[in-house]
Structure 1
Amino acid sequence: MVDFRPIAYVFGRILIVLAILMLAPAIVDWSAGDRNAQAFVVSALVSGGIGGAIAMATQNGMGGAFDIRQAYLLTAVIWFGVPGFGALPFMLGAPGLHFTEAYFEAVSGITTTGATVIYGLDTLPAGMNLWRGLLNGAGGLGIAFVAMIFLPVMRVGGMQFFRTEGFDTFGKALPRATDIAQQLLGVYLGLIVVAGLTFSAIGMTALDATVHAIAAIATGGFSPRDASFNPYAGAGEYFGALFMFLGSLPYVRYVQLVNGDSRPLWQDSQIRAYVKVLGLSVGTVTLWQWWTSDMAFEAVFRESLFNLTSIMSSTGFFSGSFPVWGGYMLVVAFLIGVIGACSGSSAAGLTVFRAQLVWAALVQQVRRIILPGRVAPVKYDGRTVEPDVMDALILYVGGYVLTLGVLTVAMTLTGVDITSSLFAVWTALGNIGYGFGPLVERTGTFVDFPDAAKWIMTLAMLMGRLGLLAIFVLVLPRFWQR
């Protein structure tokens, strides 16, 4: 029998933290004399009151460590439940969304997807745009903890490989979980501060610099501008690409770096592969667009660098002619969006780590065909990959592709055209943020999608963030019979 009290207690504490965060945009709007502040105050009282009541009622259940079923349930409860409270300001204040759209927006923020149903961001109260950025920031930090602590234990999609020697380095450098949390928080906030100061230095307003900095490091993609980074073309695109890239690297490497060991960061096979794939993509798309358009080379390179970094890091900012990309450029964008960035970061997609293992397994099978008598295990970075890791990996990758197809077909049944459906599921499942197709072209948002399609996207965002297997396991009867 699962003891739900520890799960409820942690959820209650998180709601209290969420309520405290709501006070920041309330103060911003109150200082500007905007009545939208009331929406945040009421939302904070509701969230904090319910969270406090839950925490007090279940605090006697805290004792031992979480078992595997509680770990699965806790992650699901957090990612499904917190957006329900994070959606309150969107309903009670500007822009006055109904529940489906408000929950969509909150899920998109907390899962760091960056897809939006709000058109007219430039006219929203400053506090509301700050709230969207804070949702990105809170989600990115939460994902960092899940990626570093929970996913390896949960054995989701081959992530147990990160518990083996060489990746699970906390035992020597950081003996206590609280040390990990404190240093991770310091690194995360430090990167946001540096990004914010940089964006301010190149001419962004205080609000734009703050929200863009939070969203870039969290790879969240929420912008206070309908035009995203277009108002800051030039230096904004170069620095934006830099901070999106930094936000999509494994957080464990930053923790090791602040502890005085920089070697893992430079020697990480996953990071090197990420740089190679991203560099190849930017290079080929730059040459293709330069050859087929009349744009200057530097402008083409800058636009390709920014937008492809945004896609592969699963952020969601855009600039230049990106919304009307097609042909080869769109194919490359689709493929690197499926791959995603590094495991152990707030980025999503299959992740470079899994793509590397799939490639290694493919190479091994080709060699077996050529040399049937040769026995060679799959290796990653010189280390043998155990069969249980490969089994989980193949199941995850197969499930990802199957889910992409099934949800795309399901969305077409709601009346959405096939192009918009495919890229909507692609952007939601990969937590990428920006879509293509006729229904997106008018506003650059998903506001024109029917409610049923928005719920499909909402489910896809949560599945992509949690890891497909973490969702599928919860619906299996056998999981509850253990």
Structure 2
Amino acid sequence: MLDLRPVGYVIGLLVALLGASMLVPLVVDFALGDGNWQAFAEASVITLACGGFVTVACANSLGRGLNVRQAFVLTVGVWLALSFFGALPFVLGAPGLTATDAIFEAVSGITTTGSTVIVGLDDLPAGMNLWRGMLNWLGGLGIAFVAMIFLPVMRVGGMQFFRTEGFDTLGKVLPRATDIARALMSVYAGMTLLCVLTYLALGMVPLDAVVHGFATIATGGFSPSDSSFGKYPGAAEYAGAFFMLLGSLPYIRFVQMVNGTPGAVWNDAQVRALLRWLVYAVATVVLWRMATSDQAFEPVLREALFNLVSIFTGTGFFSGSFAGWGSFALVAAFVVGMIGGCSGSSSGALSVFRVQVLFAAIGAQIRQIHTPHRVFSVRYDGRTVEVDVMNALMMYVTGYVLTIGVLSVGLTLTGVDTVSAVFGIWTSIGNIGYAIGPLTAPAGTFDAFPTAAKWLMILAMLMGRLALLAVFVLVLPRFWRA
């Protein structure tokens, strides 16, 4: 029988820490004389109590390690629990959301998707906008741990490939998981601080700089303004594009760089491919826009760069009129959104690594057809990709595409138009957050979606953040019987 006590202990502890973190926006609202601090007080007490009780009840499991089955349950359980308790402030205080909308907002935040159902962000209490940014920031760091520590062990979607060479975070980069956590936290916090200071220097008000800084490094996309980065056109957009790119690169490479390997980031094949594909996408869209409109070059370049980086990295900020540029720009956005950032970062979607291996496999198959008497192996960054890695990766890519199709059909059955449905699932499962389609066009939010559609999007956001198979495996009876 599966022992859930070690899982419960970790989840309870994290829920209690989430409750403690609610004291930060509480203090902000209290200091500003906003009565919304009481909502955070209530939510904090409830969350601390529930997390504390579970932690104490499961404390007799201390000292026991997690097996693979427990790791699956923990990975899914953490996101479900944090999403539920993270939604409490949205229900108890401003903006007074329904349970469905509150959970949608919390899941979108903690999965670093960035989609929102709130209209009137500029009028929200400062503490509530700060809480939204904190959810992004906490989720961004959390997925980095999952991607680098749990997913390779669980052999999800080909991630076991990173248990070799420089990505073996369990042994070759740093000796213990606690050291990994400490190093990652230092890098993550350092990049966030640098981003916030940069935004302040470029003229953002303190609250906007902090919330945007949290969301940028986490590639989360929550903004304290309905106009997102459209409120700060110009230099802030270039700075935002730069820091979004940093947040989409493998965090472990920054740790290696800090520990004395200056070329660690550039030597990663994922990083080079991401930058190369981004240049191709931006250049193509800019040339097309210049040929089909009378806009000046610099605004076109800036808007294309910022919005495509935002979509590519799965951040979800928007600026200018990019979403209205027409079908060509939207197709380019759809493609880069499907790819996503690098494995081992807070970005979602397929990931550059999986797409690279997919291209390599296609190339090997074409060569095999051309020269049937030779054996061509699939290679990535000079190393042969083993069969079990390829099988897991192909299953993941196939499942990802099929899931988009099935959930898109499900969304249309709730009454959502086809364009809004496809882009709604695309933005959810890829944790992109970018709103495209007739239903989102008026306000740039998903508030107009039916309740059933929002729950399908919640499911898609969680599945995308947890690498699909980590969720699918839990519904198999054999998993619980093993």
Shorter-normalised TM range: over 0.9
- The separation in 1 between residues aligned to 2:393 and 2:170, in whole angstroms, is 24
Give the counterpart letter for 1:247 in structure 2. Answer: G
> What TM-score does the superposition give when structure 1 sets the normalisation length?
0.99
- Offset of residue 435 of structure 1: 2.0
1:166 is paired with a residue of what secondary structure?
Answer: helix
1:53 is paired with a residue of what secondary structure?
Answer: helix
Is this contact kept in 1: 2:108–2:461, CA < 8 A?
yes
- The separation in 2 between residues aligned to 1:33 and 1:63, in whole angstroms, is 45
Calculate percent identity across the aligned residue pairs. 61
Note the alpha carbon deviations across 1:101-126, whole angstroms, 9 max, x for none: 00000000000000000010000000
Residue in 2 that maps onto 1:201: 201
Larger displacement relative to structure 2 (93-102 or 286-295): 286-295
- The separation in 1 between residues aligned to 2:172 and 2:379, in whole angstroms, is 25
Note the alpha carbon deviations across 1:283-322, whole angstroms, 9 max, x for none: 1111111111111101100000000000000000000112
Residue in 2 that maps onto 1:319: 319
Alignment of 1:389-468 (within 5 A): 389-468=389-468
- The separation in 2 between residues aligned to 1:220 and 1:232, in whole angstroms, is 18
What 5-or-longer segments of structure 1 have no aligned partner?
A: none
Alignment of 1:229-240 (within 5 A): 229-240=229-240
Is this contact kept in 2: 1:148–1:251, CA < 8 A?
no
Note the alpha carbon deviations across 1:226-268, whole angstroms, 9 max, x for none: 0000111000100000000000000110111111112221211
- Offset of residue 176 of structure 1: 1.4
Is this contact kept in 1: 2:6–2:64, CA < 8 A?
no
- The separation in 2 between residues aligned to 1:173 and 1:346, in whole angstroms, is 19
Alignment of 1:76-225 (within 5 A): 76-168=76-168, 171-225=171-225
Is this contact kept in 1: 2:339–2:349, CA < 8 A?
yes
Is this contact kept in 1: 2:311–2:337, CA < 8 A?
yes
Is this contact kept in 1: 2:429–2:464, CA < 8 A?
yes
2:433 is paired with a residue of what secondary structure?
Answer: coil
Give the counterpart letter for 1:100 in structure 2. Answer: T
1:27 aligns with 2:30: no
Residue in 1 that maps onto 2:15: 15
Give the counterpart letter for 1:95 in structure 2. Answer: P
1:432 is paired with a residue of what secondary structure?
Answer: coil
- Offset of residue 437 of structure 1: 1.2
- The separation in 1 between residues aligned to 2:170 and 2:469, in whole angstroms, is 25
1:265 is paired with a residue of what secondary structure?
Answer: coil
Alignment of 1:337-376 (within 5 A): 337-376=337-376
2:265 is paired with a residue of what secondary structure?
Answer: helix
- The separation in 2 between residues aligned to 1:416 and 1:109, in whole angstroms, is 23
- The separation in 2 between residues aligned to 1:257 and 1:44, in whole angstroms, is 38
Residue in 2 that maps onto 1:47: 47
Cα 1:119–1:15 shift into 2, 3 Å: same
- The separation in 1 between residues aligned to 2:172 and 2:88, in whole angstroms, is 43
Residue in 1 that maps onto 2:302: 302
- The separation in 2 between residues aligned to 1:126 and 1:435, in whole angstroms, is 24
Is this contact kept in 1: 2:223–2:317, CA < 8 A?
yes
2:463 is paired with a residue of what secondary structure?
Answer: helix
- The separation in 1 between residues aligned to 2:426 and 2:325, in whole angstroms, is 16
Is this contact kept in 2: 1:216–1:315, CA < 8 A?
yes
Note the alpha carbon deviations across 1:42-75, whole angstroms, 9 max, x for none: 0000000110011011100122210000000001
Is this contact kept in 1: 2:204–2:232, CA < 8 A?
yes
RMSD: 0.8
Alignment of 1:43-82 (within 5 A): 43-82=43-82
Give the counterpart letter for 2:367 in structure 1. Answer: R
Is this contact kept in 2: 1:101–1:117, CA < 8 A?
yes
Give the counterpart letter for 2:49 in structure 1. Answer: G
Is this contact kept in 1: 2:166–2:173, CA < 8 A?
no
Residue in 1 that maps onto 2:247: 247
- Offset of residue 213 of structure 1: 0.4
- The separation in 2 between residues aligned to 1:67 and 1:291, in whole angstroms, is 57
- The separation in 2 between residues aligned to 1:338 and 1:88, in whole angstroms, is 32
1:438 is paired with a residue of what secondary structure?
Answer: coil
- The separation in 1 between residues aligned to 2:185 and 2:325, in whole angstroms, is 37
- The separation in 2 between residues aligned to 1:133 and 1:423, in whole angstroms, is 24
- The separation in 1 between residues aligned to 2:273 and 2:181, in whole angstroms, is 28
- The separation in 2 between residues aligned to 1:131 and 1:417, in whole angstroms, is 32
Note the alpha carbon deviations across 1:152-210, whole angstroms, 9 max, x for none: 11111000000012321552441111111111101101001000000000000000000
Residue in 2 that maps onto 1:227: 227
Is this contact kept in 2: 1:313–1:340, CA < 8 A?
yes
- The separation in 2 between residues aligned to 1:327 and 1:266, in whole angstroms, is 34
- The separation in 2 between residues aligned to 1:167 and 1:85, in whole angstroms, is 33
- The separation in 2 between residues aligned to 1:49 and 1:325, in whole angstroms, is 50
- The separation in 2 between residues aligned to 1:102 and 1:52, in whole angstroms, is 23
- The separation in 2 between residues aligned to 1:29 and 1:311, in whole angstroms, is 32
Is this contact kept in 2: 1:173–1:259, CA < 8 A?
no
- The separation in 2 between residues aligned to 1:163 and 1:26, in whole angstroms, is 41
Is this contact kept in 1: 2:25–2:130, CA < 8 A?
yes
1:267 is paired with a residue of what secondary structure?
Answer: coil
- The separation in 2 between residues aligned to 1:363 and 1:172, in whole angstroms, is 31
- The separation in 1 between residues aligned to 2:155 and 2:232, in whole angstroms, is 42
- The separation in 1 between residues aligned to 2:170 and 2:319, in whole angstroms, is 39
Residue in 1 that maps onto 2:5: 5
Residue in 1 that maps onto 2:281: 281
Residue in 2 that maps onto 1:481: 481
What 5-or-longer segments of structure 2 have no aligned partner?
A: none
Give the counterpart letter for 1:59 in structure 2. Answer: A
Residue in 2 that maps onto 1:385: 385
